[in-house]
Structure 1
């Protein structure tokens, strides 16, 4: 494939990120801080993520998983810096609810906002593909999509769940340790796990992303989609809350408390 095609894909992803930044600025200007503003931030982040990842599918199909992973690595770092408190992912709010930091109502509303943003943005992507500026976009606007799930749905749910658990444990450990390049490390861990699961479940680890990109695609039923990408990922994320508190796991990821080390030396 030509470098022009990759440049067009890169430009489109940059356009999506730029429009999302404008959307966040307008939201901050016209909406007062509060739940409504947070819902808009979640919808914008989800739309940005899904629009970019639609184009990342083009990159992966035509330029390989290695190129795809490089883009995903830097995009994850970018999103961590500009999204603020938005996550574009429902299970982060579920974790907050379990820890007593939010309510089921807020979780439901933010999940709804994420789904709306992630699913509605496809029309914008479809129009861009319809112009067929480069050969990689030919016939993509209206073609039937196929699922990325290449294994049994229950195995796929286990893969999504375990990988999400590892991602969330890594994020929690980095948040507690606070290393200088925590965002880069977190992005590397997440990207590595995505690549590892890419040829099995697709490596989504985010129910909204999976639904925005693959809901209704041939290759699995809607129920199987929910089992793999919603139940699998959410169970893995929720499990990270108690698992991280297990002393052995916590000490393994973060290290033993200073007091414990001192007691051993006395």
Structure 2
């Protein structure tokens, strides 16, 4: 329980940081892209600690899967509430670009700061573990350089898994985007938790290039290129397929709808064109 108390303090600190950045930037909307930095930092920092609880807490602290996935759901729900439209997910930023909702420069800035936030989260988490506040963190600190990769299958199988999970995630997200946040945020948190649980024996279904970079790219077992194929190319491919299935084409690339007919059917009342006969 003391380990969970220390983790709770860590989670609260990450949430407060993201909330402060969001509050401060309300006065400077031109720097709103920094919200993506805070969002990515909070998400990766919290998920690193969740991963610690999964890797160590289940056998060292007696914490079962029910506890760990409940914590994951709460983290994802809190992230959705605190960060709002700042997803901390490069695929969602690229999705807006492909839908003609953003230009190239804001897109590049957002993606860059998302990876910067993820990298900073790694540094903060490593320092936090080095404090060895609990036995769980002491063990994690010893294991830090020998972390277990989340990619437990072949590169091709992993690419397919991330692609399918991302495809399903974005299809649901596109259908929910006009729903009120009170409905959308909890449903997305449930969906992400479910996909993570379902794919835990394959890739863990991160569906987020900056998140996967923070959680598994530094772990041995695969090369950087192989991780990129699975977690970056797989996620982007799934997102693009979801957009094509949802709207019929990719607006940034194809003007013509590739799937759905754009013909409008207008019903003309039967009768003489000259008007009614009296």
Structure 1 length-normalised TM: 0.84
Contact 1:94-1:238 within 8 A present in 2 as well:
no
Contact 2:38-2:117 within 8 A present in 1 as well:
yes
Structure 1 counterpart of 2:35:
41
Structure 1 counterpart of 2:53:
59
Using the alignment, how far apart are the partners of 1:213 and 1:25 within structure 2?
27
Count the aligned residue pairs. Answer: 242
Using the alignment, how far apart are the partners of 1:99 and 1:152 within structure 2?
32
Using the alignment, how far apart are the partners of 1:26 and 1:182 within structure 2?
25
Structure 1 counterpart of 2:107:
107
Structure 2 counterpart of 1:148:
150
The aligned runs of 1:55-204 (5 Å cut-off) are 55-64=49-58, 65-141=65-141, 142-176=144-178, 181-204=183-206
Using the alignment, how far apart are the partners of 1:235 and 1:73 within structure 2?
26
Structure 1 residue 176: deviation in Å?
A: 4.2
Structure 1 residue 60: deviation in Å?
A: 1.1
Q: Deviations over 1:153-202 (max 9, x none)?
A: 11101101110111111111222455962322221122101110111112
- Greater Rg over alpha carbons, structure: 2
Contact 1:91-1:238 within 8 A present in 2 as well:
no
Q: Deviations over 1:36-91 (max 9, x none)?
A: x1221111111111111110011112344332221121222222222132110111
Q: CA RMSD in A?
A: 2.0
Q: Deviations over 1:74-121 (max 9, x none)?
A: 222222222132110111121111111112222221111100011122
**Structure 1: stretches of 5+ with no match in the other structure:** 249-266
Structure 2 counterpart of 1:257:
none
Once the two structures are overlaid, the 10-residue window that deviates more, 73-82 or 52-61, is: 73-82
SS of structure 2 residue aligned to 1:155? helix
Once the two structures are overlaid, the 10-residue window that deviates more, 160-169 or 81-90, is: 81-90
1:22 aligns with 2:20: yes
Structure 2 length-normalised TM: 0.81
